[in-house]
A and B are shown apart, each in its own frame.
Chain A
Amino acid sequence: QSALTQPPSASGSPGQSVTISCTGTSSDVGAYNFVSWYQQHPGRAPKLMIYEVNKRPSGVPDRFSGSKSGNAASLTVSGLQAEDEADYYCSSYAGGSNNVLFGGGTKLAVL
């Protein structure tokens, strides 16, 4: 199974909103509500930001939100702040052989 498709880069100015897409297939993103998003700063381990499409772990600001439509999921970051500049990865359960897929990652720049 192929990795999920994400745009390589995204950008926005402080205070603005930006949305990052994650496109899969009817066998993964489209089939299950098990989509997560991770934030990774350079040299650091990834951090869970969204799970089960639109749920936020404790401590994650409500500026981060997730959604899904068909075979595509999205992460929206509202009120952009400098510290949001990082790589973002989506992940989806792919059923079948209990596989887990990651997207290729999106580098978010806060201009």
Chain B
Amino acid sequence: QVQLQESGPGLVKPSETLSLTCAVSGYSISSGYYWGWIRQPPGKGLEWIGRIYHSGNTYYNPSLKSRVTISVDTSNNQFSLKLNSVTAADTAVYYCASGEGLVRFDYWGQGTLVTVSS
């Protein structure tokens, strides 16, 4: 059973970079699957941020592409999200998720709230 756990700062200042890591257990990232990030502003719906394949190929939401980097660390079986130049609009619960298909997210982390505020 794949298990995911997000970690990172819960508070980020405006204009700085949001950095989160998703630790994976129960499955080796290098074996396959897509590994992605999805966020949910408080009281609002889900927004796809991007995903990375175990090969390292990345795909990003066009609206965030200029600010997002997703990378994978196979040696530590984890993957990461960096979102730069953040504003209050980036305040959200950030989920890491994985699955076999393009919009098939079978496994989810519990989510971590990141607040952008000075």
- On A, residues with C-beta under 8 Å from B are 1, 3, 34-36, 38, 45-48, 51-52, 57, 89, 91-93, 97-105
Contact residues in B for A103 (Cβ distance below 8 Å): 45
A104 to B44 alpha-carbon distance, docked (Å): 8
Q: How large is the interface on B (under 10, 10 to 19, 20 to 34, 35 or more residues)?
A: 20 to 34
Known: A34-B103, A45-B95, A51-B104. A102 touches B62 (CB 8 A): no
Chain B residue nearest to A100 in the complex (CB): B48
- The distance from the CB of A9 to the nearest CB of chain B, in whole angstroms, is 13
| With A38-B46, A45-B95, A45-B110 already in contact, 18 other A-B pairs whose C-beta atoms are closer than 8 Å | A1-B62, A3-B45, A34-B102, A35-B103, A36-B101, A38-B105, A45-B111, A46-B108, A48-B105, A51-B101, A89-B46, A93-B102, A97-B59, A98-B59, A99-B48, A100-B48, A100-B102, A102-B47
- The distance from the CB of B35 to the nearest CB of chain A, in whole angstroms, is 13
Could you tell me if B46 and A102 are in contact, using CB atoms closer than 8 angstroms?
Answer: yes
Q: Could you say which of A1, A57, A92, A104 contacts B103, with CB atoms under 8 Å apart?
A: A92
Contact residues in A for B103 (Cβ distance below 8 Å): 34-36, 51, 91-93, 100
A87 to B86 alpha-carbon distance, docked (Å): 28
Contact residues in B for A45 (Cβ distance below 8 Å): 95, 108-111
Interface residues of B in 92-118 (CB under 8 A from A): 95, 99, 101-106, 108-111
- The distance from the CB of A89 to the nearest CB of chain B, in whole angstroms, is 5
A98 to B103 alpha-carbon distance, docked (Å): 10
Contact residues in B for A102 (Cβ distance below 8 Å): 38, 45-48
Could you tell me if B45 and A89 are in contact, using CB atoms closer than 8 angstroms?
Answer: yes
Could you tell me if A105 and B45 are in contact, using CB atoms closer than 8 angstroms?
Answer: yes
Contact residues in A for B110 (Cβ distance below 8 Å): 45
Contact residues in A for B30 (Cβ distance below 8 Å): none
Could you tell me if A36 and B105 are in contact, using CB atoms closer than 8 angstroms?
Answer: yes
